Amino acid sequence: MKTTHKKNLIAAALVSALAFTATIAQAQDPLSSWNDGPTKQAIVAFVEKVTKDGSPDFVPTEQRIATFDNDGTLWCEQPMYFQLFFAVDRVKALAPQHPEWKTKEPFASLLKGDLKGALAGGERAMLEIIVATHAGMTTAEFEQIVKDWIATAKHPKFKRSYTECVYQPMVELLAYLRANGFKTFIVSGGGIEFMRPWTEKVYGIPPEQVVGSSIKTKYEWRDGKPVLMRLPEMNFIDDKTGKPVGINSHIGRRPIAAFGNSDGDQQMLEWTQAGSGARLMMLVHHDDATREFAYGAESKIGTFSDALMAEAKKNGWTVISMKDDWKTIFAFEQ
């Protein structure tokens, strides 16, 4: 009995030592929220070959540009784009100053909580909502409105702030790339000024590395101070063929790695791949209805069409399965 007891103690000590070592190993793995498998391996292999001095695929630091879509790639985009939740909340907040909205579409439907009805007016309705909620104030005022909203609003399903609904594996990927000399950029169809107030804190991506859609602004003087007024006019739509245009305009060189999740990202991945040398193109596939959402070709938001899946196969782009490749999706799960 005594010997067995001793053996058990030793075994327990060994197990606990091993567990401790495993914990350290996990903590040291910069991609610990990724399951081991071909996707994670593809990321690590790419980073190792472009950073290894003397490798035929070596890329100088200043050319290590990686671009990321935001909605559905870095943070959740269901049940609708978070910026649309913002717009709806703004319409509600501004309604007392606009009694005419009670009978005027798309606002009347929106105020009744009928988003589908509000968006029935198509692009024109969407533009009217943007103009009413995103224009007519200074850039500084808009920044404060976004900051206040993002600090308090909650996701309807997860009951967490929107900035908690970011994908932990992608946050790790951003940090891992930066630790390897990459400059990380957001290239999103979302509003550039809607993202900038919080991307540095949440993703470690500073305002000057955020590319997005924008409305026009105008320099003028107000109360003895210069301001930039946000005008009711679109300036640039950073989606589909607009993404390579936005990349060229803001970054001025071609990414060597690009990450997206929808038909809106196809051209960014094509543009990235068309450069010479080693490249990495990946698409996040939302196939986890239990932990997040499952959607694809049938979705109206973040559509991953069958045509895109065929492009991915043809071009050798990696499709990230959220279900299989991600150990953790949100940090709040842990």
Task: Say if CB 322 and CB 329 are below 8 A apart.
Answer: yes
Q: Rounded to whole angstroms, what are the CA distances from 166 to 75, 82, 122?
A: 4, 12, 29
Total residues in contact with a second copy, by rule CB under 8 A:
36
Q: Residue 182 is which amino acid? A: F
255 part of the interface to a second copy, by CB under 8 A: no
Query: Whose Cβ is closer to a second copy: residue 5's or residue 222's?
Result: 222
Q: Which stretch binds a second copy (CB under 8 A): 112-120, 144-152, 200-208, 284-292?
A: 200-208
Helix (H/G/I), strand (E/B), else coil: 193: helix
CA dist 333 and 135 (Å) reads 37
Out of 36, 208, 233, 333, which residue is the one contacting a second copy (CB under 8 A)? 208
Q: Which of 7, 147, 218, 291 binds a second copy (CB under 8 A)?
A: 218
> Should residue 271 be labelled a site residue for a second copy when binding is judged by CB under 8 A?
yes
Least separation in angstroms between residue 50's CB and a second copy is 18
| Segment lying near a second copy (by CB under 8 A), choices 50-58, 90-98, 219-227, 316-324 | 219-227
Shortest Å, Cβ 76 to a second copy: 24
Kindly report the number of other CB atoms within 10 A of residue 319's CB atom: 17
C-alpha count within 13 angstroms, C-beta hemisphere, residue 274? 9
Decide if 220 contacts 196 (C-beta within 8 A).
no
> Measured from the CB of residue 269, what is the shortest distance to a second copy in angstroms?
10
Restricted to residues 133-172, the positions that interact with a second copy (CB under 8 A) are 139
DSSP count for the chain of H helices, then E strands: 13, 7
User: Closest by alpha carbon to 240, among 272, 208, 207, 262?
Assistant: 262
245 part of the interface to a second copy, by CB under 8 A: yes
Applying CB under 8 A, the span of 17-25, 147-155, 236-244, 309-317 interacting with a second copy comes to 236-244
Within 52-71, which residues bind a second copy (CB under 8 A)?
A: 62, 65
Interaction residues for a second copy, span 111-140 (CB under 8 A) = 139
d(CA 176, CA 270): 24
Nearest to 89 by CA among 115, 127, 71, 125: 115
Q: Where on the chain is the footprint of a second copy (CB under 8 A)?
A: 62, 65, 139, 183, 192-193, 196, 200, 206-210, 214, 217-220, 225-226, 228, 235, 241-242, 244-245, 248-253, 267, 270-271, 274
